[in-house]
Structure 1
Amino acid sequence: MGVTGWAPERGLFTRATQAMRRWSGRSQATLVAAFVLAAGVLTLGVLREPEWVPPSALLLLVVVAVFLLRLRPLVILGAVVLACAWGLWWSGAPTVIPGVLVVVTVAVVASVAFARERERLGLQGAPGDLMLVDLRDRLAAHGRVPPLPAGWWVDSEIRSAHADGFSGDFMVAGTRPDDDALEIVLVDVSGKGLDAGVRSLQLSGAFGGLLGAMPRDEFLRAANRYLLAQAWDEGFATAIHVAIDLRTGDFWVSSAGHPPAVQLHAGSGRLELIDTVGSPALGVVADVRCHSRAGRMERGDVLLLYTDGLVEARGGDLDQGIDRLMGVADRVLAPGRGSAAAVLAGVRAGDDDDRAVVLVHRD
């Protein structure tokens, strides 16, 4: 399930997106003319057949137009719709009452504001929705784990705040064929929603390129330099980096402003908090010094990585959140086959922040 198997689908989707953009660009004048004509027909219907054509039909016209028109054509249509609604009221149409005028006016203003925000993000009309889906799929592809040798498997669960389509939490994984090693990076980007999703996509691509290309002790420093070079207003992120020798089970963990990993020792059933010597979050200072902590995964052991959305609560204590997580991990993972989704569900963290759980199992 590597990125290679996904590439043809991405190419097909990209071509469809480009075709939609070309069609939408050429047809904007035709579309706005059709919508204006429809507004005129609906206005005439409200006057002559009020029992069959309610004034709220103008709202349906605006809703459909939001998905097809760019900002300027939508402003033109909004002005026409307002003129029709107010004209009907001045003409004494019996079904047009002041409340209808208020609702239509608010709907037009809200639609224009929504289209303006989409244009600021470069998402115009129907092709913008395809771009969002493409963005989400690319981010998911960067988090796919390459095939692993028998006895090793990785399970992850990432959920966005308020069930949004985009998350500031992401995972990147890669292997080093020359020394049979697996590397995983779990990152929590500042912010939420689409803005965080765009930054996550850029960082996940860059971090994926750094994995395997940099010595493990240099990865977070290189990631910090890349993040600083972007000069974003909200330009920081926390990260935890794990490198595992798949032949011996030896591993190294380092972090930058990120909550500590947890290891379940299958032999004793003990949970160990792997508290690395922390450094500031990425993108805060010019140079970070991340000291790794070494360990070893025996058969049956599980390594748990997570983001702070799982353990932080407004007004709560971070240590208490970590204790709660370890209690859930003790119940869920002790049988040896617990899933990341089960850990996330057991913690019952609020949905006002992005949350991610990654489990590395050695059978």
Structure 2
Amino acid sequence: MPVEEIVRSVWSPGEEVFYSASGEGRPPERGTFILRRPGVARYRLLLVTLTAAALAVGPLSATVGTGWAPPILLAPILLLGGLRLRLPAMGLLTTASFISVVITLTAAVQPAQLIALIVVAGLALRLSHMRGGVGIYGLRGDQALIELKQRLQRMCQMPTLPRGWGRKAVIRRAPGSLFGGDFLVSCQEGDNLQVALVDVSGKGGDAASRAMMLAGTFGGLLGATPAPDFLPACNAYLMREDGREGLVTAVHLDLNLSTGRYVITCAGHPPPAKFGRGSGAWELSTAQGIALGVVSDARWDSVQGTLRKGDALMLFTDGMWGSRADVDAGIDRLLGQAGILVQQGYDKAAALIRELSHGDDDSAMVLIWRT
């Protein structure tokens, strides 16, 4: 890289701009270019201040001793740089810090402090690199993630049902993941309730970014298309925009809250289970069909039924199957535990998902019952 570009990347950082262009029948051309960003004066002031502070630590330690000015004073400078500076500037700050460390070697420096500084410098460089990937510096990135998580949680909330109906939705992320690949979208217009439980292929963070994008898309389609056209519309979208990125399974419920009549459609998803008050048992639905995003002309077989007083429906994702060694045994165990849930009350659904969900996978369950 030419020296000019190196200096520009450190002293005059820009914003990365994405572009796409095509014409004359040529395939789309995509790329990025750098645009000068506002606020560069404040950025330069911060860079100069931190670099000067880092360079001052070494001579200060050599002059007054490491007891009054230990090299570990460089740690907060490096961490602040990792939060606020871009990677090229962070490289300059790290270099200045190690120059200070070399100067302090003339004094009595504890090896533990040097090791700690090396670790902190590595963490700061990693932090700067990660935040540079998303273009958010400082603490705004954490706030953006918090707001995004809250929006997704609100999106997964089901509407309030009228008297005589109850519902419970529980979504569990894979351990250690802020977001997951399972999500729920729903809408209610008058006496008609539509619910879609979706599972994006992958686990935890691997599927999270795709699931976040699809949650908004599917939520918009759910309220804008007639119920029979919802899954075809989702499939068409995936085939057009997202077809090569993996499978998406979904179960769609169209329920009339006045009559209890419902229509269930499955796209590669575990079939829902229905509890009949008369039989006192859970039974799996026969709804089935190919997953979304596989073929453009997919068709799905729907199942119709009626929820009477005391009946219930349970929608769930494959994370509720438990052990993957024997799927049938896992589903049987789920239905058995769901039978106990009927006796204890549907509000215990959270305990059920904790007990049955697969350890390293996302899992979700939706219960709708009539009282």
Q: What TM-score, normalized to structure 2?
A: 0.80
Deviating more after overlay: 35-44 vs 132-141: 35-44
Match of 2:99 in 1: 83
CA shift digits 1:261-310 (9 cap, x unpaired): 1222234321111131231x222222321111112212222211121122
Select the residue among 313, 322, 327 that pairs with 2:336: 327
Aligned-pair distance for 1:27?
3.2
Shift of 1:87: 4.1
Residue 293 (structure 1) aligned with residue 293 (structure 2): no
Larger Rg: 2
Equivalent in the alignment of 1:62: 78
Counterpart of 2:230? 219
Partner SS for 1:217 = helix
- Alignment-derived partner of residue 3 in structure 2: none
Equivalence map 1:72-151=2 (5 Å) = 72-88=88-104, 91-97=105-111, 100-151=113-164
Look up the SS of the partner of 1:339 in the other structure: helix
Q: Specify the alignment match of 1:357 in structure 2.
A: 365
CA gap 1:233/1:277 in 2 versus in 1, 3 angstroms? closer
Instruction: Name the stretch that deviates more: 74-83 or 151-160.
Output: 74-83
* Offset at residue 348 of structure 1 (A): 5.1
- Return the alpha-carbon distance in structure 1 between the equivalents of residues 244 and 113 of structure 2: 42
Aligned-partner Cα distance in 2 for 1:337–1:253: 21
Aligned equivalents of 1:78, 1:353: Cα separation in 2: 39
1:344 aligns with 2:359: no
2:263 is aligned with 1:252: yes
Q: Per the alignment, in what secondary structure is the counterpart of residue 340 of structure 1?
A: helix
User: Once the 2 structures are TM-superposed, how far is the Cα of residue 193 of structure 1 from its aligned partner?
Assistant: 4.6
Residue aligning to 1:197: 208
- Cα distance in 2, alignment partners of residues 149 and 317 from structure 1: 39
Give the SS at the match of 2:365.
Answer: strand
The size of the alignment, in residue pairs, is 334
Q: 2: CA distance between counterparts of 1:167 and 1:25?
A: 37
Any idea what SS the aligned residue of 1:154 has? strand
Are 2:275 and 2:283, in contact at CA under 8 Å, matched by a contact in 1? yes
| C-alpha deviation, 1:44, in angstroms | 4.5
Partner residue of 2:320? 310
**Aligned position for 1:34:** 49
64-73 or 196-205: bigger deviation: 64-73
Percent of residue pairs bearing the same amino acid type: 37
Counterpart position of 1:261: 272
- Seen in structure 2, the aligned counterparts of structure 1 residues 206 and 327 have a Cα distance that, compared at 3 Å, is same
**Aligned twin of 2:250:** 239
Aligned-partner SS, 1:186: strand
**For residues 86 and 165 of structure 2, what CA distance do their matches in structure 1 show?**
49
Please report the TM-score for the alignment, with normalisation by the length of structure 1: 0.81
* One-letter amino acid matched to 2:293: G
Q: Which runs of 5+ in 2 are unaligned?
A: 1-36
CA contact (8 A) 1:310 1:355 kept: yes
Residue 84 of structure 1 deviates from its aligned partner by 2.6
CA contact (8 A) 1:28 1:70 kept: no
Q: Measure the CA separation in 1 of the matches of 2:340 and 2:38.
A: 55
Higher relative contact order (Cα pairs below 8 Å, separated by 6+ residues):
1
Q: Please give the alpha-carbon distance, in whole angstroms, between the structure 2 residues aligned to 1:322 and 1:26.
A: 61
- Decide which structure has greater strand share: 2
Checking the alignment, whether the CA contact within 8 Å between 1:67 and 1:125 is kept in structure 2 is: yes
CA shift for structure 1 position 184? 0.5
Any idea what SS the aligned residue of 1:260 has?
A: coil
**Match for 1:77: what amino acid?**
L
After TM superposition, give the deviation of residue 24 of structure 1 in Å: 7.7
Deviation at residue 41 of structure 1 after TM alignment: 4.4
